[in-house]
């Protein structure tokens, strides 16, 4: 009898183990607060002052509500975790993603289309700076609304301009002038008559330049710093990375021209010299950041750069202006834009309540509070008169102007975005290291990404009708 009881215990134990392992039994937490409000789970990636800015908006929303309570949770590596949580059937109600994930996640059925909710709320494209609305759209459906947007601009170090005898208030107006000013600022060390001497790059002899017989001390400009958008340089030469449908156009003449310019920097300063110089760069988010440390005079950076200048190099004399294109007359105000967005993952339990919060964030006061807190600008078409005046970034108007430009460009909104960017990075590396000509490297990218895209399209064609029907029914 005693033995049998023991067996019963063991069986019970096994049953518990089986129950927990096989059922995926994550205990479902209560979705109501003690005072009866519906809890909306919100995953966001921001930490530090950016996280605080969003928390303040969440707190305002919660204070204004007696039906919904938004619980914000900071989550690192959010895109991957959201994907796994959605695949596992237990996603948050809202997630703060980046706009470039929308195409991939929407196409794979991981997001909830927002069109009907937007219609009901009377929110339209006219309410936004157009490019940020477009970044939330894919295959004719809206999948997100913006939270914090960003555009990029040329940041320059005024002191380095002055030290080189240049006008610190005159940024380059064309790519050609950028190259020239960069050379005039670049400081190098050479051995002449057995002595080490510091001279400007423009003072080097023809022989010293050809033999790369110098060491870079300070650099006026290099397109390989910060190296985050290396694959996108073609935008400043009028290039497009795809035709918007099924064809990859990485090897277009404009793109080849752009990357010939990019590779020209290795040819000009020498691969080993640039590598040696680059090896001395510190982390981006540190005082050893080459721009903040006064090692590089000009850099393409986003609206967030102000925060890092403020934190690590408050004494830096700097300014920001549009990054010049190859043809400033016909191609003015080119910029790369990105956007943080709020999405409702597929399978979220409180879609309506989640949208209430997203709608609140997209109201003018909340949006301005959030973006002032993060020191970015509002993606809304209208801003209050004090927004620019109160903004700590003295050049914020330039970033807004750039975002509104018809030449505001963004990474390809396609489901092989990650592969495309990776391939472009590999190609840039090959070009920078003089391992391939721009023609060869870009043709390789085009062929490879096209091959990958065709595979994804093969799948899309199989499920397209079902998907579109399902999305429309969800309206």
Partner 1 sequence: MTRREWKDFWTGIAFISPWIVGFVVLVLYPVGASIYYSFCDYDVLSRPVWIGTLNYQDMFTDAVFWKSLKNTLYFAAVSLPLGLVLALLVAVLLNQEVKFRSGFRTIYFLPSLVPVVASAMIWLWILNGKFGLLNYGLSFLGIEGPNWLSDENWTKPSIILMALWGVGGAMVIYLAALQDVPRELYESADIDGASAWTKLRHITIPMISPVIYFNLIMGIIGSLQVFAQPFIMFGGGGTNRSALFYAVYLYQNAFDYNQMGYACAMAWVLFLIILVLTWLATKSTRKHIYYAGE
Q: Which residues bind partner 1 (CB under 8 A)?
A: 3, 7, 10-11, 13-14, 17-18, 21-22, 80, 83-84, 86-87, 104-105, 108-110, 272, 275-276, 278-280, 416, 418-419, 422, 425-426, 429-430, 433, 435, 448, 451-452, 455, 458-459, 462-463
Nearest distance, CB of residue 227 and partner 1, angstroms: 12
State which residue, 168 or 347, has the beta carbon closest to partner 1: 347
Q: Least distance (Å) from partner 1 to the CB of residue 459?
A: 5
Q: For 345, phi and psi rounded to 5 degrees?
A: -60, 150
Burial class (CB in 10 A: 0-12, 13-18, 19+), 55: middle
- Whether the CB-CB separation of 442 and 251 falls below 8 Å is answered with yes
Question: Please, which residue, 20 or 49, has the CB nearer to partner 1?
Answer: 20
291 SS3 class: coil
Of 13 and 73, which CB lies nearer to partner 1 in the complex structure?
Answer: 13
Q: How far apart are CA 124 and CA 181, in angstroms?
A: 44
CB neighbour burial string for 11-23, b if at least 16 within 10 angstroms, e if fewer: eeeeeeeeeeeee
Residue whose CB is less far from partner 1, 283 or 330 = 283
Residue with tokens 């694959």: 231
> Least distance to partner 1 from the beta carbon of 87, Å?
5
| Matching residue, tokens 């023809």 | 206
Alpha carbon 226 to its chain centroid, in Å, reads: 13
Nearer to partner 1 by C-beta: 19 or 365?
19
Residues of 355-382 as b/e, b for ≥16 C-beta within 10 angstroms? bbbbbbbbeeebbbbbbbbbbbbbbbee
Q: Report in angstroms how near the CB of residue 21 gets to partner 1 at its nearest.
A: 5
Q: How far apart are CA 235 and CA 460, in angstroms?
A: 28
d(CA 372, CA 151): 15
Q: How far is the CB of 73 from partner 1 (least distance, A)?
A: 21
| CA–CA gap between residue 89 and residue 23 (Å, rounded) | 12
Q: Which is nearer to partner 1, 19 or 140 (CB)?
A: 19
Nearest approach, Cβ of 82 to partner 1 (angstroms)?
A: 10
Q: Is the CB of 81 or the CB of 159 nearer to partner 1?
A: 81
Integer Cα distance of 94 and 350 in angstroms: 9
Residue 276 is given by DSSP the state H
Please say which residue, 12 or 73, places its beta carbon nearer to partner 1.
Answer: 12
Minimum distance, C-beta of residue 145 to partner 1, in the bound complex (Å) = 21
Minimum distance of partner 1 from residue 150's CB (angstroms): 22
Round to whole Å and give the CA distance between 21 and 375. 46
């Amino acid at each position: 009898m005693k033995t049998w009881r023991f067996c019963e215990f063991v069986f019970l134990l096994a049953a518990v183990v089986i129950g927990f392992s096989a059922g995926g039994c994550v205990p479902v937490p209560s979705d109501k607060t003690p005072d009866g409000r519906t809890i909306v789970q919100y995953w966001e990636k921001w930490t530090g002052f950016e996280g605080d800015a969003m928390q303040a908006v969440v707190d305002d929303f919660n204070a204004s509500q007696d039906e919904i309570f938004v619980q914000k949770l900071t989550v690192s590596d959010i895109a991957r975790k959201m994907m796994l949580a959605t695949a596992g059937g237990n996603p948050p109600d809202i997630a703060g993603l980046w706009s470039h994930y929308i195409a991939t996640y929407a196409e794979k059925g991981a997001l909830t289309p927002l069109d009907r909710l937007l219609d009901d709320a009377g929110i339209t494209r006219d309410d936004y700076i157009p490019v940020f609305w477009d970044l939330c759209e894919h295959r004719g459906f809206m999948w997100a609304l913006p939270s914090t947007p960003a555009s990029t601009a040329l940041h320059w170090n005024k002191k380095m301009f002055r030290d080189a005898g240049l006008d610190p208030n005159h940024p380059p107006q064309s790519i050609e002038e950028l190259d020239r000013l960069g050379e005039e600022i670049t400081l190098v060390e050479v051995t002449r008559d057995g002595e080490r001497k510091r001279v400007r790059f423009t003072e080097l002899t023809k022989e010293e330049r050809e033999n790369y017989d110098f060491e870079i001390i300070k650099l006026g400009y290099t397109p390989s710093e910060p190296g985050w958008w290396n694959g996108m340089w073609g935008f400043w030469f009028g290039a497009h990375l795809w035709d918007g449908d099924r064809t990859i156009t990485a090897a277009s003449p404009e793109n080849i021209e752009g990357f010939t310019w990019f590779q020209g920097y290795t040819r000009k300063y020498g691969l080993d010299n640039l590598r040696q110089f680059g090896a001395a760069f510190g982390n981006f988010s540190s005082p050893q950041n080459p721009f903040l440390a006064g090692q590089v005079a000009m850099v393409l950076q986003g609206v967030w750069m102000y925060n890092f200048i403020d934190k690590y190099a408050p004494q830096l004399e700097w300014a920001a202006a549009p990054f010049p294109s190859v043809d400033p007359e016909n191609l003015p105000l080119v910029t790369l834009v990105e956007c943080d967005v709020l999405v409702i993952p597929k399978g979220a339990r409180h879609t309506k309540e989640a949208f209430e919060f997203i709608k609140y964030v997209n109201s003018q006061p909340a949006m301005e509070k959030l973006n002032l807190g993060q020191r970015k600008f509002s993606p809304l078409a209208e801003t209050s008169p004090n927004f620019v005046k109160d903004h700590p970034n003295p050049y914020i108007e330039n970033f807004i102007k750039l975002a509104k430009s018809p030449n505001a460009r963004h990474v390809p909104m396609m489901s092989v975005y990650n592969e495309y960017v990776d391939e472009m990075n590999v190609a840039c590396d090959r070009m920078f290291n003089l391992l391939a000509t721009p023609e060869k490297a870009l043709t390789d990218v085009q062929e490879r990404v096209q091959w990958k895209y065709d595979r994804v399209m093969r799948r899309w064609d199989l499920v397209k009708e079902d998907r579109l029907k399902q999305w429309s029914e969800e309206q």
